[in-house]
């Protein structure tokens, strides 16, 4: 790009060029029209004067005739009067000559008139003065030659005047057309210039808008082609610098996130081995009740229980770390809803009985299979039921229901416990969040259950929501897609029922 | 008496498994990696363990490699893999290699015992 003036320079050049063109065209046009007008007026004046002179020539000739051949019989032809009339004829002829402006036709006509007058004076007037009457045919011929020449000069002068007027009209019209064409041309040039200017901005600006949209959409590799006027090109470069810096930051952030995820993943994984050992040995001790005294047994029980909690917490953390790292995978398969709900129900029932809570499981008849990882959805249900069990008071009612809603299956876990207010509902799926921080001691648990439940449900392509108002209990609902060949399942015994019975 | 060969690279886990399985009434032979597990198998022959428990990830020779090797030799001893299960495709791959069952790590004791029982009494 050798010549790339800035936007302001382009605008300035455009305005100057347009202004200059309009000025030149206008001045030339007006000047030319003025010139035509002046020329025309001069011509018209001249031809009027010439006509006047030809009238004078005619009257001078009449005086000459009167001097040579007086109208009344008692008057004598007068040499003096003839000379005077001839002098005024000659004066008029010389003024007329000046007025012909070298028009060949008019000059010829004037010469003819002067020549015929000279011939008439010589052949008719002079002999009459000297009382020699010329032959009548000669006198008639020469007299009518002068008269005819005078008429011809007058006629031609009028014709010349008409021609001058026609020429002036034609010139005026042509000049007007030329000026109009010139102005039109100048405007057209301006239009081309400005549309060129707009076009030179449009493409790079369009690219910038498109780039900004893509960048806002999260595509951090977006760069724009730098081009157009200097200002736009500068904007393009600034945009690319911004995108570079955003991408660099994002990459750095990703790297740190990755490090954090890897760290949590590794730590959780490494923690599991010793916890497994502690739990295993503690459980072994509690199984040997007979060989322990009551305090030793109590200690072994507490160790086993704590190790169990620790193991659960580490598993939850590991699940979340995997989820963050995109490594949490599910193995979805057509899963019967009833047997899944009943298995988790059986597993959880002792907890509800322990707090004298009533617990019901209701599954709609003939539900189609869900497309889900039974272990993971069991984990979600267990997490929701554990929360209901923990937060609802003794004697409360807890219900697990599964129904078909549209083309999805909805699971709902509801209780008639203390419920949650709006602010609490907003954070209920956050990590390590608790309805009340003072409950940490009394309720226990990791505060990760609902966060994991959300991750797992979303991984299945489902949605989870919480509904509650203080004092009216809480309901957690999640929906899951129906399996592709999800015919209503008659709940034939599956291989999983054994595991359920053992749980 | 039912004999189990148990291989795990963590000595404390191995000891815990050994003691608890002994409590359940099994005879337990232990190995701390894949190479040692194969060595123990040779030492035991011609008598074979009733079930082999293999940790999937071990130094020197992994449980998966041991599984491949003994199935490659045509042995039909039931194998129970213990897997940390970091990869969703892992159980499927292990079953293809000839594992009879898989216990995810960390395991619930009842789950582990249940699966061993299933393999001992087909």
What are the DSSP calls for A239-303, one per residue? Answer: HHHHHHHHHHHHHHHHHHHHHHHHHHHHHHHHHHHHHHHHHHHHHHHHTTGGGS-HHHHHHHHHH
> Which chain A residues have a beta carbon less than 8 Å from that of B23?
284, 287-288
A465 at interface of B, judged by CB pairs closer than 8 A: no
Count of domains in chain A?
3
> Which chain A residues have a beta carbon less than 8 Å from that of B10?
273, 277
Check residue A384 and give its pLDDT.
Answer: 92
Question: Smallest CA–CA separation between A277 and chain B, in Å?
Answer: 5
A207 domain-assigned: no
Give the C-alpha separation, A370 to A409, whole Å: 7
Residue A41 burial by Cβ neighbours in a 10 Å radius (0-12, 13-18, 19+): exposed
Question: Smallest CA–CA separation between B28 and chain A, in Å?
Answer: 16
- A367's tokens: 């539900």
B121 at interface of A, judged by CB pairs closer than 8 A: no
A131 domain-assigned: yes
B23 at interface of A, judged by CB pairs closer than 8 A: yes
A315 at interface of B, judged by CB pairs closer than 8 A: yes
> Which chain B residues have a beta carbon less than 8 Å from that of A311?
106
Neighbours of A341 (CB within 10 A): 21
Check residue A503 and give its pLDDT.
Answer: 29
Determine the residue of chain B that is closest to A314 in CA distance.
B106
Check residue B85 and give its pLDDT.
Answer: 65
Helix (H) or strand (E) holding B3: strand B3-7
CB spacing of A327 vs B86 below 8 angstroms: yes
Please give the angle made by the CA atoms of A439, A444 and A445, to the nearest 5 degrees.
120
Are A236 and A204 contacting, i.e. CB atoms less than 8 angstroms apart? yes
Q: How confident is the model at residue A496 (pLDDT cuts 50, 70, 90)?
A: very low
A61 & A114 share domain: yes
Check residue A486 and give its pLDDT.
Answer: 52
A483 & A355 share domain: yes
Q: What is the pTM of this model?
A: 0.53
What lies within 8 Å, CB to CB, of A286 at 6+ separation is: A297, A300, A301, A304
Residue B46 burial by Cβ neighbours in a 10 Å radius (0-12, 13-18, 19+): exposed
B25 at interface of A, judged by CB pairs closer than 8 A: no
CB spacing of A277 vs B16 below 8 angstroms: yes
Q: Which of B10, B57, B87, B88 to mutate to test the interface with A (most CBs of A within 10 A)?
A: B88
Are A318 and A357 contacting, i.e. CB atoms less than 8 angstroms apart? no
Question: Could you say which of B84, B87, B110 has the minimum Cβ distance to residue A502?
Answer: B110
Check residue A409 and give its pLDDT.
Answer: 92
Check residue A495 and give its pLDDT.
Answer: 39
- A394's tokens: 């003794």
CB spacing of B12 vs A269 below 8 angstroms: no
Check residue A337 and give its pLDDT.
Answer: 92
Q: How confident is the model at residue A423 (pLDDT cuts 50, 70, 90)?
A: confident
Determine the residue of chain B that is closest to A322 in CA distance.
B86
Neighbours of A219 (CB within 10 A): 12
B94 at interface of A, judged by CB pairs closer than 8 A: no
A287 & A397 share domain: no
Size of chain A in residues? 503
CB spacing of A287 vs B23 below 8 angstroms: yes
CA distances to A217, A461, A477, A481 from A407, in Å:
31, 13, 15, 7
A289 at interface of B, judged by CB pairs closer than 8 A: no
A377 & A442 share domain: yes
Q: pLDDT tens digit string along B28-73?
A: 999 999 999 999 999 988 888 999 999 988 888 999 999 999 999 9
**Which residue, A159, A157, A125, is CA-closest to A53?**
A157
B16 at interface of A, judged by CB pairs closer than 8 A: yes
Number of CB pairs, chain A paired with chain B, less than 8 A apart = 47
Question: Could you say which of A281, A311, A322 has the minimum Cβ distance to residue B106?
Answer: A311
- B77's tokens: 């001893």
B122 domain-assigned: no
Which letter, b or e, does each residue of A294-327 get, where b requires 16 or more Cβ atoms within 10 Å of its Cβ?
A: eeebeebbebbeebbebbbbbbbbbbbbbbbeee
A218 domain-assigned: no
Helix (H) or strand (E) holding A415: strand A408-415
Are A30 and A183 contacting, i.e. CB atoms less than 8 angstroms apart? no
A335 & A241 share domain: no
Q: Which of A262, A271, A282, A284 to mutate to test the interface with B (most CBs of B within 10 A)?
A: A284
Question: Could you say which of B23, B105, B111 has the minimum Cβ distance to residue A284?
Answer: B23
Residues A254-260: what's their mean pLDDT? 87
Which letter, b or e, does each residue of B21-34 get, where b requires 16 or more Cβ atoms within 10 Å of its Cβ?
A: beebebebbbbbbb
- B63's tokens: 């449980």
CA distances to A175, A264, A279 from B106, in Å:
102, 17, 10
A281 domain-assigned: yes
A300 at interface of B, judged by CB pairs closer than 8 A: no
Residues B111-122: what's their mean pLDDT? 89
A153 & A263 share domain: no
A305 & A371 share domain: no
Size of chain B in residues? 122
Contacts for A274-277 with beta carbons within 8 Å, 24 or more apart?
A: A274/B12, A275/A307, A275/A310, A275/A311, A275/A314, A275/B106, A276/A311, A276/B13, A276/B16, A276/B105, A276/B106, A276/B107, A277/B10, A277/B12, A277/B13, A277/B15, A277/B16
Are A170 and A40 contacting, i.e. CB atoms less than 8 angstroms apart? no
A169 at interface of B, judged by CB pairs closer than 8 A: no
A164 & A288 share domain: no
Query: Which B-chain residues 50-89 have CB contacts (< 8 A) with chain A?
Result: 84, 86-88
A184 & A273 share domain: no
Check residue B83 and give its pLDDT.
Answer: 85
Please report, rounded to a whole number, the percentage of residues in chain A having pLDDT higher than 70.
Answer: 93
Residues A55-67: what's their mean pLDDT? 89
Q: pLDDT tens digit string along B67-92?
A: 999 999 988 899 999 987 656 677 88
> Which chain B residues have a beta carbon less than 8 Å from that of A322?
86
Q: pLDDT tens digit string along A205-228?
A: 888 899 999 999 988 888 888 887
Check residue A361 and give its pLDDT.
Answer: 92
pLDDT at A403 over 60: yes
DSSP letter at A226 equals -
Last residue of a domain, one of A304, A323, A342: A323
Check residue B86 and give its pLDDT.
Answer: 59
- What range defines the domain where residue A372 resides? 330-502
B12 at interface of A, judged by CB pairs closer than 8 A: yes
A214 domain-assigned: no
pLDDT at B117 over 90: yes
Residue with tokens 């029932």: A349
Q: pLDDT tens digit string along A300-324?
A: 999 999 998 888 888 888 888 878 7
Check residue A434 and give its pLDDT.
Answer: 66
A378 & A319 share domain: no
Give the C-alpha separation, A197 to A403, whole Å: 65
Residue A417 burial by Cβ neighbours in a 10 Å radius (0-12, 13-18, 19+): buried
**Helical residues (DSSP H) of A287-404, grouped into ranges:** 294-324, 337-354, 374-391
Cα-based torsion angle of the residue sequence A39, A43, A46, A52 in order, rounded to the nearest 10 degrees:
-150
Q: Return the SS3 of A70.
A: coil
A26 & A174 share domain: yes
CATH code of A439's domain:
3.30.565.10
Residues A406-418: what's their mean pLDDT? 90
pLDDT at A492 over 60: no
Out of A99-113, A475-489, B52-66, least confident range = A475-489
- What range defines the domain where residue B68 resides? 3-108
CATH code of B68's domain:
3.40.50.2300
B66 domain-assigned: yes
**Helical residues (DSSP H) of A69-135, grouped into ranges:** 79-100, 104-120, 126-129
Residue with tokens 């129900």: A345
Instruction: Share the mean pLDDT of chain A.
Output: 85
Check residue B18 and give its pLDDT.
Answer: 95
Count of domains in chain B?
1
pLDDT at B16 over 90: yes
Please state the ipTM of this predicted complex: 0.85
CB spacing of A315 vs B105 below 8 angstroms: no
Last residue of a domain, one of A280, A307, A323: A323
What are the DSSP calls for B29-71, one per residue? Answer: EEESSHHHHHHHHHHHTTS--SEEEEES--SSS-HHHHHHHHH
A258 domain-assigned: yes
CB spacing of B13 vs A273 below 8 angstroms: yes
Out of A59-63, A187-191, A354-358, B88-92, least confident range = B88-92
Q: pLDDT tens digit string along A2-30?
A: 567 777 887 888 788 888 888 888 898 89
Give the C-alpha separation, B93 to A69, whole Å: 151
Check residue A444 and give its pLDDT.
Answer: 54
Check residue A437 and give its pLDDT.
Answer: 53
**A138 vs A440, residue with greater confidence:** A138
């Amino acid at each position: 790009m050798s010549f790339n003036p800035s936007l302001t320079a382009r605008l300035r050049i455009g305005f100057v060029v347009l202004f200059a063109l309009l000025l030149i065209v206008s001045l030339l046009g007006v000047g030319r029209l003025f010139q035509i007008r002046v020329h025309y007026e001069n011509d018209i004046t001249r031809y009027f004067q010439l006509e006047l002179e030809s009238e004078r020539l005619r009257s001078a000739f009449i005086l000459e005739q009167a001097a040579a051949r007086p109208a009344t019989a008692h008057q004598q032809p007068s040499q003096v009067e003839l000379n005077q009339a001839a002098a005024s004829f000659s004066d008029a002829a010389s003024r007329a000559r000046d007025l012909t402006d070298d028009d060949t036709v008019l000059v010829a006509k004037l010469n003819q008139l002067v020549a015929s007058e000279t011939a008439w004076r010589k052949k008719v007037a002079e002999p009459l003065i000297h009382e020699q009457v010329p032959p009548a045919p000669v006198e008639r011929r020469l007299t009518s030659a002068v008269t005819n020449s005078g008429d011809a000069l007058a006629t031609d002068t009028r014709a010349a005047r008409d021609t001058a007027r026609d020429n002036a009209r034609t010139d005026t019209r042509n000049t007007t057309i030329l000026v109009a064409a010139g102005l039109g041309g100048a405007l057209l040039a301006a239009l081309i210039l400005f549309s060129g200017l707009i076009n030179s901005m449009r493409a790079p600006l369009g690219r910038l808008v498109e780039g900004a949209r893509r960048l806002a959409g999260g595509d951090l590799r977006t760069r724009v082609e730098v081009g157009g006027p200097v200002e736009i090109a500068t904007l393009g470069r600034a945009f690319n610098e911004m995108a570079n810096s955003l991408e660099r930051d994002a990459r750095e952030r990703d790297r740190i996130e990755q490090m954090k995820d890897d760290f949590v993943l590794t730590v959780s994984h490494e923690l599991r081995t010793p916890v497994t050992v502690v739990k295993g040995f503690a459980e072994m001790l509690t199984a040997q009740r007979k060989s322990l005294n009551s305090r030793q047994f109590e200690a072994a029980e507490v160790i086993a229980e704590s190790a169990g909690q620790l193991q659960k917490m580490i598993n939850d953390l590991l699940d979340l770390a995997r989820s963050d790292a995109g490594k949490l995978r599910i193995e979805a398969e057509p899963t019967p809803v009833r047997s899944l709900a009943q298995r988790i129900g059986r597993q959880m029932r002792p907890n509800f009985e322990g707090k004298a809570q009533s617990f019901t499981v209701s599954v709609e008849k003939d539900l189609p299979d869900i497309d889900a990882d039974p272990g993971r959805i069991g984990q979600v249900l267990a997490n929701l039921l554990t929360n209901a069990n923990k937060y609802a008071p003794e004697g409360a009612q807890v219900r697990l229901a599964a129904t078909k809603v549209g083309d999805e299956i909805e699971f709902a876990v509801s209780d008639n416990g203390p419920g949650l207010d709006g602010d609490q509902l907003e954070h209920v799926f956050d990590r390590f969040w608790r309805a009340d921080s003072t409950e940490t001691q009394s309720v226990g648990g990791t505060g990760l259950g609902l966060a994991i439940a959300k991750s797992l449900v979303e991984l299945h392509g489902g949605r989870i929501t919480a509904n509650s108002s203080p004092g009216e209990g809480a309901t957690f609902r999640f929906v899951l897609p129906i399996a592709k060949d999800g015919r209503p399942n008659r709940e034939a015994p599956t291989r999983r029922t054994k595991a359920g019975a053992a749980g | 008496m039912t004999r189990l060969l148990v291989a795990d690279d963590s000595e404390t886990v191995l000891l815990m498994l050994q003691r608890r399985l002994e409590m359940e009434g099994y005879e337990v032979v232990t190995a701390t990696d894949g190479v040692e597990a194969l060595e123990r198998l040779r030492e035991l022959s011609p008598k074979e363990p009733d079930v082999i428990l293999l940790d999937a990830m071990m130094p020197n020779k992994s449980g998966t490699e041991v599984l491949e090797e003994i199935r490659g030799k045509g042995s039909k001893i039931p194998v129970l893999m213990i897997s940390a299960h970091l990869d969703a495709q892992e159980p499927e791959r292990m079953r293809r290699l000839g594992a009879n069952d898989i216990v995810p790590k960390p395991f619930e004791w009842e789950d582990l015992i249940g699966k061993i029982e299933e393999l001992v009494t087909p």
